[in-house]
Amino acid sequence: MPMSHAEILVLTECASGSWNMQWRLKCPACGTDEVGDHEAVTVHPDRDDYDSPLGTRGGYVRVDLTCSDGHGFAFIMGNHKGAEFVGIVPRV
């Protein structure tokens, strides 16, 4: 069964205090929070084509990641004319 967005991108409290929060990214395939260093960061320019892996228009940043169990996925951050999008997509 696929994980929900709330299970993949989790807001947690930092050790330094309750006002400091951070996002923890979990592997969408297995749920581990042991996500290794990024493999690649790709910046795509702002175009009006629907070429984003999220199906959105405009520029986006793609970060390719792999969890400790070897599952590959990409964290995508996009923006088009002031609308922000965040998504997780599997890598094949």
- Rounded to two decimals, the pTM is 0.72
Cα–Cα distance for residue pair 70/92, rounded to 1 Å: 12
pLDDT value of residue 1: 61
Residue 67: per-residue pLDDT: 93
Residue 72 backbone phi and psi in degrees, to 5: -100, 140
Give Cα separations from 68 to 23, 35, 36, 37 (angstroms).
18, 6, 7, 10
Give the pLDDT of the chain (92 residues) as one tens digit per residue.
Answer: 677 777 888 888 776 666 677 788 899 999 998 888 777 788 877 777 777 777 777 788 889 999 999 999 999 888 777 778 888 888 86
